[in-house]
Amino acid sequence: ASFQLVLDVFRADIMKWMCRWRSDSRQRIPPRVILYNMGYLVYAMLVLRLGIRSVYRSGDSICSNTAPEFFFATFIFVSLSLAAWATIILGYLVPFCFVAVLLTRNGYFPNAETTSTPGTGVAGGGPRVGMRIGTIVSFPNTYSNPAPPGCVDR
């Protein structure tokens, strides 16, 4: 957990010096930054898993008797981490997915105007996101139920 705190506190410096990228730059996010962020998330989940196992699943552990202050601090850290992850998942991720599904089911398709030929899956020389693969459709066909003009402001 201490190493996770160091990664949190020095995140801007790690991005600047180790990943050679600044968040205020107008550049596309390089793969090394994405890889660092994914590695950090995996590490944070492993620390949280270890904390849950040691605090909530330990039952009558020796740690709660021999080092009650340390056990209580770990309990608070794990509880706050769980609250933070619940806020992120339930407060941001679930509503975002709900709105995305709601928009696409009601006719909003960001690639609709770039599709040259209906049903071909070709948009500007490359495959579009909503192409059909046999009977599987990743997004519904943009021409099956389009929204009326002016219905969805961009």
β-pair type (126-127, 136-137):
unpaired
Do the beta carbons of residue 119 and residue 109 sit within 8 Å?
A: no
The per-residue pLDDT string of the chain (154 residues; one tens digit each, 9 = 90 and over) reads 678 888 888 888 888 888 888 878 788 888 998 999 999 999 989 988 988 888 888 776 677 778 889 888 888 989 998 999 899 999 999 999 998 888 888 777 766 555 545 555 544 444 444 444 445 445 554 555 566 666 665 5
Query: 7, 14 in Cβ contact below 8 A?
Result: yes
